[in-house]
Amino acid sequence: MLMPSPTARKLNAGIVVLIAVSLFFCAPRGKRSAEKMDAVAAAPDTEALETYVYECKNERFTVQTLADTAWLYYDDTTVVLRRQPAASGAKYTGDGFVYWSKRDKARFEIPERSFKNCRMNKREASWEAARLRGVDFRALGQEPGWLLDLYCGDSIVFLADYATKRYVAPTPEPRVLDDGAVIHFSSRTNIHRLDVSIVRDSCYDPMSGFGFPATVTVTVDGNGYIGCGRALGEGGICP
């Protein structure tokens, strides 16, 4: 049922400091292997997970940590690493892989290759965490701050008015309009109506100062919110 939650906390300002690097309806990712899916499934579904994104010239690594365990996502591979003693920083190893971090820098070793002086991209962390949770499309807006996570075939989660209101509705079949330039979702419950329109049109977020490939309009019971968004899932938005 679509119901607001008055106890929801205000959105952390960090989630709105992002950079858009994806295409509009399709995030270019490699197809997940069975091993990668197994490793993702093995990761605990908890808010205690910390997510980090590192960029090493033309390579990119995502790491999630919890206590003495780290999950390393690289290309089409996911490896579970265990923490090891280190003279400084935090060091995790396993199956020939090494993740060694200190402040905002890290070193990675994979079979036959190593990457030094990798730098943390803090802006991408919350988006990668959402993608690993299965979010297919994410959007945000300002004044008042809001955040939308869309899961194909499951639910739309919308945090409105600085997360003081939370709405959850089933994800309907999308309507594709204007030769694919617009994707529209219209969801109803016994009490509320939630509409989401995703338009292929560049969008600028004033809080972060970055551009996004889609302009997004969310309407709840006639109240409209306008912001920016991008695809996270593999294969586009609800193909």
Could you list the residue range(s) of the whole structural domain that residue 117 is in?
Answer: 34-125
Per-residue confidence at 46, pLDDT binned at 50, 70, 90? low
Are 161 and 223 found together in one domain? Answer: yes
Same domain as 210, residue 187: yes
The residue from 125, 159, 184 where one domain ends is 125
Long-range contacts of the stretch 211-217 (C-beta < 8 A, 24+): 211/20, 212/20, 213/20, 213/22, 213/23, 213/24, 214/24, 214/139, 216/139, 216/141, 216/148
pTM of structure: 0.78
State how far the Cα of 136 lies from the Cα of 101, in Å rounded to an integer.
29
pLDDT digits over 67-125, tens only? Answer: 899 999 988 889 999 999 999 999 999 999 999 999 999 999 999 899 999 999 999 99
Side by side, the strands of the sheet bearing 182-188 are 165-170, 155-160, 146-150, 137-141, 223-231, 210-220, 193-205, 182-188, 175-177
Q: Which residues lie below 8 Å from residue 21, measured CB to CB, with a gap of 6+? A: none
Q: What is the pLDDT of residue 43?
A: 57
Query: Residue 218 belongs to a domain with what CATH number?
Result: 2.40.128
Residue 118 sits in the same domain as residue 177: no
User: Residue 231: CA atoms inside 13 Å, Cβ hemisphere, count?
Assistant: 20
Q: What is the CATH number of the domain that holds 40?
A: 2.40.128.200
- Is the model's pLDDT at 196 over the cut of 60? yes
Mean pLDDT computed over 120-145: 93
